């Protein structure tokens, strides 16, 4: 019972943080704030899934959290590549 | 022994939960992208270590514990990398990291500010 | 009880995100919000105990959709065009539809009701027969791979057709001087960013390894060909981001990718035809081996491999089609 309570407390903390990150994602103001919020959301999802897997007693579902832990940052790296190529293109256009 | 482990994991996970909350509040309340990134990424790392260590104590020595360890390692590798990528993307687009006393600095305004600043 | 509270909270966030996606005119913001949407969706599926679906959402939503959206965004303008006409007509149609759908939910059985019609039909038979006929613990894989093998074959051909369609549409335009890897697709990438380079190089093999684990562990836990194909494709895309697109194309040329798209679908169909040649029905795996249970297992492993190969090839072909717009 005690461990269920603790899982519950932690998952509520994570859910509240997800709400805060959501507020940041919607408020902006810059696009990077939204990328940041998406990133916070990603790591929080990994933690939430790990905690819930144990809250429900389904540790074999941890594969899902592992997937996110492995490939969540690929999207963020693509964001960096996106801005890098755009700033290069603009620099090149300005030079021409 | 059992009780000690339980209490230890209880403490670890509560502290982790507190870190998660602090990070969330920081990401919402701090004045500009870089400071928000600072709050979010630092607490992310710490909270992941604490929470997953707490769950591992509960899981005991099993396949789940090894998976949790893998999750922790990958989180510790990818989290800071993602933070680096965000900070670098913001910097590349010409968002000024200096906060010049006025609360929001260069990042003030609506969605367009990021685009306008890039020029 | 906890499930309901969590589920309601996550669904509320989901609705807020969806509204925000619709409201924003900055497409980049929409892409970021969509990635949050996908995370919420996966968490929701997970709470509903649908681990296989959640894993699919995770494998697709975590990396690939963001990358492909950004690739498309690099080719277009960043803002949505305003279309002032017909807003009220749209609103009317949508509200009528929404009202109809809400009205229809009153007839729905309670969430998780064991007496719901869907749990009375073939589901009990699947649950009963899977251990006996196939000897694998994951009933979802048994249903997808064997009992409903036709449906999955159809899905593979949908993926195949979608991939061909995207390639056709994108090859119609002439080479543009933009895109995710502009201005010089040969040399760039994130090669001079030290931290992503080191971490990424370290992680690519683990991602591919994990993809293979998901592929071949699908009979015993959540997973299967579709998820594995997406995860492996993510690994290759990570490599492309780090080393520049040309290096990824060197490692896996376009012809190989197209071969994968076709080969996976052919492998699936081939297993079905082999069943026919050995005297069974199309996609009946029991005849593949002398022991029908082993035959079922071999058949499922083979068709899952086919699904994985096709999905991986399609996603990578689409990625390259968006990312590389060099003049041809």
In DSSP notation, C130-199 reads HHHHT--S-HHHHIIIIITHHHHHHHHHHHHHHHHHHHHHHHHSPP-S-STT-S-TTT-SSTT-HHHHHH
Question: Residue C295's pLDDT band (boundaries 50, 70, 90)?
Answer: confident
Cβ neighbours of A81 (radius 10 Å): 29
- Which of 53-92 (A) contact B at CB < 8 A? 54, 59-60, 62-63, 65-66, 69-70, 72-73, 76-77, 79-80, 82-84, 86-87, 90
CA atoms of B9 and A89, how far apart (whole Å): 52
Put simply, whether C235 touches B (Cβ < 8 Å) is: no
Q: pLDDT at position C324, please?
A: 65
Average pLDDT estimate for C270-281: 85
Average pLDDT estimate for C293-302: 85
Among B12-26, C87-101, C113-127, C168-182, the minimum mean pLDDT is found in C168-182
Put simply, whether C201 touches A (Cβ < 8 Å) is: no
Average pLDDT estimate for C50-76: 87
Q: Do C206 and B74 touch (CB under 8 A)?
A: yes
Q: pLDDT at position C205, please?
A: 93
Give me A62's structure tokens: 């941890």
Cα C38 off chain centre by: 12
Average pLDDT estimate for C9-38: 90
C135-168 per-residue burial string, b: 16 or more CB within 10 A, e: under 16: ebebbbbbbbbbbbbeebbebbeebbeebeebbe
Whether the ipTM is more than 0.85: the answer is yes
Q: Please check the confidence at residue B113 and state whether its pLDDT lies above 50.
A: no
Residue among C214, C231, C232 nearest C223 (CA): C214
What residues of chain C lie within 8 A of the CB of B88, using their CB? 193
What residues of chain A lie within 8 A of the CB of C185, using their CB? none
What residues of chain B lie within 8 A of the CB of A73, using their CB? 78-79, 81-82, 85
Q: What's this model's pTM, rounded to 2 decimal places?
A: 0.87
Most confident range, picked from B4-13, C72-81, C137-146: B4-13
Report chain B's terminal Cα–Cα distance, integer Å: 63
Contact by Cβ (8 Å): C288, C142: no
Q: Where are the alpha helices (DSSP H) in chain A?
A: 2-27, 31-55, 62-95
Q: Please check the confidence at residue A4 and state whether its pLDDT lies above 70.
A: yes
Put simply, whether C48 touches A (Cβ < 8 Å) is: no
Contact by Cβ (8 Å): A46, A18: no
**Tens-place pLDDT, residues C183-233:** 665 556 777 788 888 998 899 999 999 999 988 887 787 878 889 999 999
Phi, psi angles (nearest 5°) of residue A4: -60, -40
Q: Do C183 and A52 touch (CB under 8 A)?
A: no
Q: pLDDT at position A1, please?
A: 54
CA atoms of A79 and C34, how far apart (whole Å): 14
Nearest CB partner across the interface for C43, out of A45, A84, A86: A45
Cα C117 off chain centre by: 29
Peptide bond preceding C183: is omega within 30 degrees of 0, i.e. cis? yes
Distances (CA, A) of C211 to A21, C308, C310: 30, 10, 14
Q: Do C193 and A26 touch (CB under 8 A)?
A: no
Domain assignments of chain A as residue spans, ordered by start: 2-95
Contact by Cβ (8 Å): C238, C64: no
- Please, what is the average pLDDT of chain B? 79
Q: pLDDT at position B50, please?
A: 92
Q: pLDDT at position C253, please?
A: 87
Contact by Cβ (8 Å): C146, C300: yes
Q: pLDDT at position C162, please?
A: 92
Q: Which residue, among A24, A78, A90, would best test binding to C if mutated, counting the most C CBs under 10 Å from its CB? A: A78
The C-alpha R_g of chain C, in whole angstroms, comes to 22
**Tens-place pLDDT, residues A7-49:** 888 888 999 999 998 998 888 788 888 899 999 988 999 999 8
Q: Do B24 and A3 touch (CB under 8 A)?
A: no
CA atoms of C40 and C57, how far apart (whole Å): 10
Q: Do C196 and A18 touch (CB under 8 A)?
A: no
Domain assignments of chain B as residue spans, ordered by start: 2-95+111-117
Average pLDDT estimate for C130-141: 80
Peptide bond preceding A38: is omega within 30 degrees of 0, i.e. cis? no
Q: pLDDT at position C309, please?
A: 93
Strand partners of residue C26:
C79
Q: Do A79 and B89 touch (CB under 8 A)?
A: yes
What residues of chain B lie within 8 A of the CB of A43, using their CB? 44, 48, 75, 79
Determine whether A82 is exposed, middle or buried from the number of CB atoms within 10 Å of its CB (0-12, 13-18, 19+).
buried
Among B9-13, B82-86, C89-93, C293-297, the minimum mean pLDDT is found in C293-297
Residue among A33, B62, A85, B60 nearest C186 (CA): A85
Q: Do C206 and B88 touch (CB under 8 A)?
A: no
Find tokens 């990401």 and name the residue: B27
Distances (CA, A) of C257 to A53, C62, C263: 36, 22, 10
What residues of chain B lie within 8 A of the CB of A21, using their CB? 24, 27-28
Among B52-56, C43-47, C168-172, C202-206, the minimum mean pLDDT is found in C168-172
For chain B, what percent of residues have pLDDT higher than 90? Answer: 24
Beta strand residue intervals within B1-119, DSSP E: none
- Please, what is the average pLDDT of chain A? 85
């Amino acid at each position: 019972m005690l461990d269920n309570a603790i899982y519950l407390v932690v998952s509520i903390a994570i859910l509240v943080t997800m709400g805060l990150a959501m507020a940041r994602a919607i408020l902006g103001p810059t696009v990077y704030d939204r990328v940041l919020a998406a990133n916070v959301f990603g790591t929080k999802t990994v933690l939430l899934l790990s905690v819930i897997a144990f809250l429900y007693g389904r540790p074999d579902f941890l594969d899902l959290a592992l997937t996110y832990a492995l490939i969540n940052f690929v999207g963020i790296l693509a964001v960096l590549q996106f801005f890098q190529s755009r700033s290069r293109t603009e620099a090149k256009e300005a030079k021409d | 022994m059992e009780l000690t482990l339980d209490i230890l994991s209880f403490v670890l996970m509560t502290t982790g939960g507190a870190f998660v909350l602090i990070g969330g509040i920081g990401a919402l309340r701090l004045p500009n992208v870089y400071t928000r990134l600072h709050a979010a990424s630092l607490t992310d790392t710490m909270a992941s270590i604490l929470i997953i260590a707490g769950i591992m104590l509960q899981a005991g020595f099993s396949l789940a514990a090894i998976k949790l360890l893998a999750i922790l390692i990958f989180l510790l590798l990818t989290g800071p990398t993602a933070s680096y990528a965000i900070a670098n993307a913001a910097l590349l687009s010409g968002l000024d990291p200096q906060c010049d006393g006025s609360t929001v600095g260069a990042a003030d305004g609506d969605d367009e500010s990021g685009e306008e600043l890039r020029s | 009880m906890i499930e309901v509270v969590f589920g309601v909270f996550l669904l509320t966030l989901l609705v807020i995100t969806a509204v925000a996606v619709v409201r924003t005119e900055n497409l980049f913001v929409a892409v970021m919000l969509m990635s949050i949407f996908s995370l919420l969706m996966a968490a929701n599926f997970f709470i509903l105990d649908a681990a296989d679906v959640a894993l699919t959402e995770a494998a697709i939503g975590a990396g690939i959709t963001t990358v492909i959206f950004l690739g498309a965004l690099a080719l277009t303008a960043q803002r949505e065009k305003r279309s002032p006409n017909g807003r009220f007509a749209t609103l009317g149609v949508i509200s009528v539809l929404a009202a109809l759908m809400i009205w229809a939910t009153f007839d729905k059985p309670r969430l998780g009701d064991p007496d719901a019609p869907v749990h009375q039909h073939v589901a009990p038979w699947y649950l009963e027969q899977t251990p006996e006929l196939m000897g694998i613990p994951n009933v979802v894989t048994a249903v997808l791979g064997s009992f409903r093998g036709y449906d999955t074959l159809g899905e593979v051909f949908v993926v195949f057709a979608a991939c061909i369609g995207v390639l056709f549409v994108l090859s119609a335009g002439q080479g543009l001087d933009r895109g995710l890897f502009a201005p010089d697709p040969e040399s760039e990438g994130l090669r001079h960013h030290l931290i992503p380079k080191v971490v990424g190089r370290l992680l690519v093999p683990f991602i591919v390894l994990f993809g293979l684990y998901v592929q071949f562990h699908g009979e015993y836990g959540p997973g299967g060909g579709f998820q594995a194909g997406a995860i492996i494709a993510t690994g290759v895309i990570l490599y492309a981001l780090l080393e520049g697109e040309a290096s990824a194309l060197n490692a896996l040329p376009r012809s190989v990718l197209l071969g994968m798209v076709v080969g996976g679908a052919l492998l699936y169909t081939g297993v079905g035809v082999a069943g026919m040649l050995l005297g069974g029905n199309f996609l009946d795996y029991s005849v593949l081996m002398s022991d029908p249970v082993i035959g079922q297992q071999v058949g499922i492993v083979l068709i899952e491999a086919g699904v994985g190969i096709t999905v991986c090839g399609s996603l990578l072909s689409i990625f390259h089609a968006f990312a590389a717009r060099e003049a041809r």
